[in-house]
């Protein structure tokens, strides 16, 4: 099996690797102690070039290249003009001991060339609504990892209960799978047309300035382009991929699973688990699709979140739309619950601290599963979804954090109706209206104010016009989760709940 962290990116890379491999003669000279000129051809001293990706609120982006040399490099003469990357903006250049981002580099064999995530060419996740292509500079930085610098049509009855049997197979559909949300004229249950695309991570760069070794040897500028021959996906590479065949529904689910570092089944420590369910734009893409579409899955597995709360993170990849406006789910709905139950048997999971979250279709699944399986989840984080209000009474007994944008008409009206029912059952609902362009500090204050209401159900809505970046073609619906999963305080609240 080919290691997906390292691959040859097209025929152009083969020629590049041949160039990278021309260092043998010089290396032999150095090893034998022969005199080496003060200035030597730079290209022959490059061992590899690794593309580094990071997931943001609007998807995965290529944000750096790590160039490996044959000896340690000093940072004294490096600058943003030392390298040129085709179609990209270089923002920072420094040496390092490994192919990793760093706040301050250290002399080492690698030179890290950081790139602007706002470049159009940075986007590796692209949907038909434009997600992953527009700058989000007015929103808080949505990094999930440490920053180096800071369907066939089902019945039209909306009253179908999630407790009803879902064993029947869906019928054929002519739906286009646009990646739109259920409720917005989007794909129907059973539709398997992908609404998003994963772009291969690769870059071509040229050393346009002098690179100096710690021994004083200068590698001068070169006109030879170097194409990345490896990929390092921050956080995404920490997940493992599996399949689960559900004995009850006979359906097979591909899924991604993050297992906490140092996990040992023989120890008695138990761990929480977070289930993330994606939206319709991620249907039937690669298994890793839920990890690269945005922060919904990977944020819980970030080093910062894991330092606070070690947890398993589960992200299924659905091969077809599971739920639409008919609220009659496909068998994958129950298969998801059965997968969670199966994992509690396989790993040391705390059954009182299993959590559900999802966006759009995944938010609808979160609400429906919470109703049908009331003893499964200790809390749920619902982002831009809805469910029939006449089925919402059981939610009054659950712990929920709901986030929606006021200009997301379907989801906003749906969540208003749900929270009204919850209040009518005598359950307190904390409410607040937030600015989707708030800074990280402002969002932290917003979360503290919400938590101060001490309600089991929290409902935050973003002001109209504050979640869609200027000039973006992304809908308010999709932009909601590009912001919602950047707010760590909500995740902290979720992880502190239990059955």
Q: What's 289's domain CATH number?
A: 3.40.50.1820
Question: Which domain-ending residue is among 211, 232, 253?
Answer: 232
Give tens-digit pLDDT for 261-309.
989 877 889 999 999 999 999 999 999 999 999 999 999 999 999 999 9
pLDDT of residue 65 exceeding 80: yes
Same-domain status, 411 and 262: yes
**Taking all residues of the chain, what is their mean pLDDT, rounded to a whole number?**
84
In a domain, 105, yes or no: yes
CATH label of the domain that carries residue 52:
2.60.40.2180
Same-domain status, 401 and 295: yes
In a domain, 191, yes or no: no
Same-domain status, 302 and 379: yes
In a domain, 256, yes or no: yes
In a domain, 177, yes or no: no
pLDDT of residue 33 exceeding 90: no
Distance CA 399, CA 354 (A): 12
Same-domain status, 218 and 250: no
Q: How many CA atoms lie within 13 A of 318 on its CB side?
A: 31
Same-domain status, 94 and 216: yes
pLDDT of residue 258 exceeding 60: yes
Same-domain status, 304 and 223: no
Segment 118-132 shows an average pLDDT of: 80
Same-domain status, 403 and 466: yes
Q: Which two tokens stand for residue 114?
A: 């950081």
Grade residue 470 by pLDDT with cuts at 50, 70 and 90: confident
pLDDT of residue 173 exceeding 60: no
Same-domain status, 266 and 376: yes
* Of 265 and 409, more confident: 409
In a domain, 112, yes or no: yes
The H-assigned helical ranges of 356-459 are 361-372, 409-424, 440-451
Q: Which two tokens stand for residue 342?
A: 């199966």
> Where is average pLDDT lowest: 50-54, 123-127, 215-219, 261-265?
261-265
In a domain, 424, yes or no: yes
Same-domain status, 22 and 80: yes
Given a contact cutoff of 8 angstroms between Cβ atoms, the answer to whether 238 and 258 are in contact is yes
Question: Which domain-ending residue is among 232, 255, 283?
Answer: 232
In a domain, 15, yes or no: yes
Full-prediction pTM beyond 0.85?
A: no
In a domain, 115, yes or no: yes
Given a contact cutoff of 8 angstroms between Cβ atoms, the answer to whether 315 and 239 are in contact is yes
* Residue keyed to tokens 């059952």: 425
Give the pLDDT score at 185.
Answer: 55
Domain extent at residue 455: 236-495
182: which DSSP letter? T
pLDDT of residue 37 exceeding 50: no
Considering its fold, how many domains does the chain have in total? Answer: 2
Same-domain status, 209 and 266: no
Distance CA 199, CA 78 (A): 30
Give the pLDDT score at 262.
Answer: 87
Same-domain status, 375 and 405: yes
User: Which parts of 234-336 are beta strand (E)?
Assistant: 239-245, 252-258, 271-277, 312-317
Same-domain status, 228 and 301: no
Question: Which domain-ending residue is among 208, 232, 256?
Answer: 232
According to the 3-state scheme, what is the secondary structure of 216-238? Answer: CCEECCCCCCEECCEEEECCHHH
Give tens-digit pLDDT for 449-461.
999 999 999 999 9
């Amino acid at each position: 099996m080919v290691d997906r962290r390292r691959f040859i990116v097209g025929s152009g890379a083969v020629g590049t690797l041949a160039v990278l491999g021309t260092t043998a003669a010089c290396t032999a000279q150095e090893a034998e102690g022969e005199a080496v000129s003060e200035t030597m051809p730079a290209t022959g001293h490059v061992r590899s070039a690794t593309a580094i990706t990071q997931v943001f609120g609007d998807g995965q982006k290529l944000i750096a290249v790590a160039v490996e040399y044959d000896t340690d490099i000093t940072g004294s003469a490096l600058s943003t003009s030392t390298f040129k990357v085709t179609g990209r903006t270089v923002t920072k250049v420094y040496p390092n001991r490994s192919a990793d981002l760093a706040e301050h580099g250290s002399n080492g064999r690698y030179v890290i060339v950081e790139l602007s995530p706002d470049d159009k060419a940075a986007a590796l996740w692209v949907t038909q609504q434009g997600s992953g292509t527009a700058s989000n500079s007015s929103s808080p930085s949505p990094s999930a990892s440490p920053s180096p610098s800071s369907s066939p049509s089902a019945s039209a009855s909306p009253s179908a209960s999630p407790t009803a049997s879902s064993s029947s197979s869906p019928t054929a559909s002519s739906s286009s799978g646009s990646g739109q949300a259920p409720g917005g004229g989007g794909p129907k249950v059973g539709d398997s047309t992908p609404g998003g695309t994963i772009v291969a991570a690769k870059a071509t760069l040229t050393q346009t300035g002098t690179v100096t070794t710690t021994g004083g040897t200068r590698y001068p500028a070169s006109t030879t382009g170097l194409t990345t021959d490896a990929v390092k996906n921050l956080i995404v590479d920490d997940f493992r991929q599996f399949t689960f065949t559900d004995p009850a529904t006979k359906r097979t689910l591909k899924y991604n699973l993050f297992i906490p570092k140092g996990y040992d089944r023989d120890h008695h420590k138990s761990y929480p688990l977070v289930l993330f369910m994606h939206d319709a734009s991620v249907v039937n893409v690669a298994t890793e699709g839920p990890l690269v579409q945005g922060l919904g899955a990977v944020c819980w597995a970030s080093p910062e979140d894991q330092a606070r709360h070690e947890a398993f993170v589960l992200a299924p990849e659905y091969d077809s739309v599971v739920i639409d406006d008919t609220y009659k789910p496909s068998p994958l709905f129950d298969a998801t619950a059965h997968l969670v139950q199966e994992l509690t048997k396989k790993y040391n999971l705390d059954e009182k601290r299993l959590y559900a979250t999802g966006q759009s279709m995944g938010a609808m699944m979160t609400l429906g599963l919470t109703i049908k399986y009331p003893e499964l989840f200790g809390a749920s984080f619902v982002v831009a979804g809805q469910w029939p209000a006449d089925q919402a009474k059981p939610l009054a007994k659950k712990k929920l954090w709901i986030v929606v944008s006021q200009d997301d008409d379907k989801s906003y009206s749906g969540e208003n109706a749900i929270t009204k029912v919850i209040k009518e059952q005598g359950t307190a609902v904390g409410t607040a209206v937030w600015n989707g362009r708030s800074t990280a500090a402002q969002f932290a204050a917003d979360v503290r104010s919400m938590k101060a209401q001490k309600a089991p159900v929290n409902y935050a809505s973003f002001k109209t016009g504050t979640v869609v970046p200027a000039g973006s073609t992304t809908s308010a619906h999709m932009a909601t989760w590009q912001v919602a999963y950047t707010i760590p305080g909500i995740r902290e609240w979720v992880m502190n709940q239990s059955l």
